Amino acid sequence: MTHTGEQFYPEGVHWDDAICIGTLPELLATAAAQFGARPAIEFRDRPISYSEFEALAELAAAAYLRAGCGKDTSVALFLGNTPDHPINFFGALKAGARIVHLSPLDGEIALAHKLADSGARVLVTSNLAALLPTALKFLDRGLIDRLVICEDDRWGKVGTPQAAIPDHPAITTCAKFIDGAAKPAQWPTISPDDVALLQYTGGTTGLPKGAMLTHGNLTAAVSIYDVWGRPARAKRAGVIDRVICVLPLFHIYALTVVLLSSLRRGNLISLHQRFDVEAVMRDIEVKRATYFPGVPTMWIAIAALPDLDRRDLSSLVSAGSGGAPLPVEVASILQRRVGMKLKSGWGMTETCSPGTAHPADGPDKPGSIGLMLPGIELDVVALDDPTKVLPPGEVGEIRIKGPNVTRGYWNKPQETAEAFVDGRFLTGDIGTMDADGYFFLVDRKKDMIISGGFNVYPQMIEQAIYTHPAVQEVIVIGIPDDYRGEAAKAFIKLRDGAASLTLEELRAHLADKLGKHELPAAVVFVEELPRTPVGKLSRHELRRKQAPKEEMA
C-alpha cells in the first residue's frame, strides 16, 4: 500500500521501512562501541568522547542504584544545557528509573506540581544561582528527599553566578554522590515498553500533564528520523556532522532531534548553555557547524542581523525549524538573502518530536509542515466528530498514530481516554492535507477565534502580518468584541530602526491578504513578547498577562 505523499519521499525511502525499537541505554552502548574515541559532546571548548561519556553515565547509574533509584522510581532533572544533563539522563535510565524533566524557566507552582505528580523524590540540579535557590525551596517544603547538586565549575570556569551549597544531610554534591559507586554484577533489565520519561506538556489550560514516553517511543523516534535522512547521509559518507545544540535539552525537540539522534549517528554535539545569536554564528562561521536545528524565534533573530548578507552560513548542510510554525516571511528572507532554504516540520511532546518533514526535492509549498514521516499515520478529522475522516482540502483536527506516540498521560486515565479516538491521538492542531499528502497547520484548536460566526485562526493572521517589513515578531490573540463576539488583537515587536506603524496602516497592508473578519481590531506595540521555556513565542502567557483595563489602540 502506497501512502499519500510517499511519491515525494527521498529516493529509496518508503513509508513501511523498518523502524527499530530498543532502549536508550542500548542506544548509548552501541554508539560508544562504534565511535569510541570520537568526540560526542563539546562544551566550553572541551571535548568528551563517546567512551568517556558512556563511562560517566555508567558511574552515575551505579550511584543511582546505590541510592535506591531503580525500577519504578522517578528522578527529576532540574538542569540547563551542560554535560551534567545527558550524563544523569542516561545514568538514571540505565539504573532503570524514569526521568522527569523540569524546566529551569518554569515557575515554582508548575515545578512543584510536576514533582508531586511524578512522585520523583530525588532532584538533580546545579549550583548555578539561577537554579539552586529554587531547588532548595522544594527540599524545605518536603517535596523531595534528596538533592544532588552538580558543580558547574567541573566543566571549566566561565564566571557564571553560583550559589553556596548548604550543609544539609539530604544534600550531596554530584562528586560525592558518585564517589565509590561500583557497577552491579548485572544491570537492571529494561524493556522497550518501560516508561523512560515523563515529559510534561502544558497547553493553554490546566496544570501540565506528564506524557509517558517509553524507551520504545524514543528509540522509534530516532529511527524514524534515521530512515528519513538515510539517502542524504549516504551522499556524505564519512563526514562527521557538527550539530549546534542551543535548544534546551529538557525539551523533546532537542532531546530527540539533537542529543539522541546525534549519538545514534556518531555526530559531535556543540553544546551551548543559552541562545546567543553571535555565539551561534561563530559556531557556523568559524567552527563550520553543519547542522543547526532551531525554533522560529532563533531564525527570526538571525534573519534580523543587519549584516546578514555578509555572513557565511555555507557550512550548514542542514538547518531545521521546529517547535512552532515558522513564519513564511522569515523563511523567505533567509532564502533571498543567504540562499538558505529553511522549512518547518511538525511534531509534539506526545510524539517524541517526529510527525512531519519536508523532502529535499519535493514540491515547494510555502507554509506547509510537510509529509507524514515513515511509520507514522496522519489524518484530518471533523472538529465535531473525531471519528469522521475528512477528504483533502477540508479543515479539521489532525490525528496521529505511530510507534513514537505516547501511551498516554501519567496518572490521568480520563485525559488519556479523551486523547485517543480509534487508536489515534488527537493532536489539538487544526489543519488540512492537500491532494499531494502535504499538511498545513491552521492553528491550535484552543487558540481559535470565533468572529461573527466565522472561525478565525491567529496563526494565519500572524503569517500575514509578518509580510510587513517593519515587523520582527507578532502574536495574535482573541479579544471580546461587542459586534462580532470576538476579534483579533495583534501584539507586535518592530524591527530595530523601523518607523512607527498605526492600526490603520497595518490594516491597509493586510487588506488584500486577509478577510475583513480576520483583520486585527486592535494592535499594541511592545519591546518584547513573552516566550515559553524553550524560546517559542507564547500566546498563552500573553493572554495571562493582559490586564482588563488595557484599551484598544
- Cα separation values, 368 from 229, 362, 373, 471, 498, Å: 19, 12, 14, 22, 29
Give the model confidence (pLDDT) of 217-275 as tens digits: 999 999 999 999 999 999 998 899 999 999 999 999 999 999 999 999 999 999 999 89
Q: What's the mean pLDDT in 298-325?
A: 86
pLDDT at 551 over 80: no
Residue 336's pLDDT is 84
User: Widest CA span of the chain, in angstroms?
Assistant: 73
Binned at pLDDT 50, 70 and 90, residue 553 comes out as: very low
Using CA atoms in the order 209, 213, 214, 218, what is the torsion angle rounded to 10 degrees?
-170
Q: How confident is the model at residue 493 (pLDDT cuts 50, 70, 90)?
A: very high
Minimum mean pLDDT range among 36-50, 57-71, 136-150, 512-526: 512-526
Domains 6-19+214-443 and 448-545 share a fold: no
Task: Report the C-alpha gap between 527 and 498 in whole angstroms.
Answer: 13
Which is higher by pLDDT, 10 or 105? 10
Is 132's pLDDT higher than 80?
yes
Confidence at residue 552, expressed as pLDDT on a 0 to 100 scale: 34
SS (H, E, C) 124-186: EEECECCCHHHHHHHHHCCCCCEEEEECHHHHCCCCCCECCCCCCCCEEEHHHHHCCCCCCCC
In this prediction, residues 113-131 reach a mean pLDDT of: 96
Work out the percent of the chain whose per-residue pLDDT is above 70.
96
The answer to whether residues 437 and 372 touch, using CB atoms and an 8 Å cutoff, is yes
For residue 173, pLDDT over 70 is answered with: yes
Which is more confidently placed, 246 or 513? 246
What's residue 20's pLDDT?
97
pLDDT at 550: 38
Bridge partners of residue 162, in order along the sequence: 128
Count the Cβ atoms, other than its own, within 10 Å of residue 16: 11
The DSSP code for 196 is E
Cβ neighbours of residue 44 closer than 8 Å, sequence gap 6 or more: 155, 156, 158
**pLDDT for the residue 1:** 57
For range 449-454, the mean pLDDT: 74
Mean pLDDT of 392-409: 97
Per DSSP bridges, beta strands 268-271 and 242-245 are: parallel
Domain 24-29+44-190 has CATH 3.40.50.980: yes
278 pLDDT above the threshold of 60: yes
Calculate the dihedral angle through the C-alpha atoms of 148, 152, 156, 162, rounding to the nearest 10 degrees.
-140
Yes or no: say if 67 and 39 are a contact pair by the CB < 8 Å rule.
no
Q: Pairing mode, if any, of strands 424-433 and 420-421?
A: antiparallel
Say yes or no: domain 6-19+214-443 is CATH 3.40.50.12780.
yes
Return d(Cα 349, Cα 347) in angstroms, integer: 7
249: Cβ contacts below 8 Å, ≥ 6 apart:
79, 81, 85, 86, 89, 255, 258, 259
| Cα angle value 404/409/413 (rounded, 5°) | 125
pLDDT for the residue numbered 418: 93
- Helices 503-510 + 458-465 axis angle, to 10: 100
More confident residue, 454 or 139: 139
Kindly report which listed range (201-215, 273-287, 426-440) carries the lowest average pLDDT score: 201-215
DSSP state string for 407-461: --BTT-HHHHHHHEETTEEEEEEEEEE-TTS-EEEEEEGGG-EEETTEEE-HHHH
Dist CA 540 CA 204 (whole Å): 6
Interval 137-161 mean pLDDT? 92
Whole-number mean pLDDT of the chain? 91
Cα–Cα distance, 15 to 376 (Å, whole number): 8
In this prediction, residue 206 carries a pLDDT of 56
Question: Do residues 508 and 475 lie in contact, with contact meaning Cβ atoms separated by under 8 Å?
Answer: no
The reported pTM is 0.87
- What is the predicted pLDDT for the residue at 202? 64
Find, among 178, 182, 122, 173, the residue nearest to 152 by Cα: 173
- Quick: pLDDT tens for 288-299: 999 999 888 888
How far is Cα 380 from Cα 58, in angstroms, rounded to an integer?
Answer: 44
457 versus 117: the higher-pLDDT residue is: 117
36: left (phi over 0), alpha (psi -120 to 50) or beta: left
What CATH number has the domain spanning 448-545? 3.30.300.30
Whether residue 142 has pLDDT greater than 80? yes
**Residue 203 pLDDT more than 60?**
no
Question: In the chain, what percentage of residues exceed pLDDT 90?
Answer: 72
The ranges assigned to domains in the chain are: 6-19+214-443, 24-29+44-190, 448-545
CB atoms within 10 A of CB 508: 11
Question: Rounded mean pLDDT of 442-456?
Answer: 76
Q: Which three cell numbers stand for residue 253?
A: 525537540
Residue with cell 567541573: 154
Residue 482: predicted pLDDT: 72
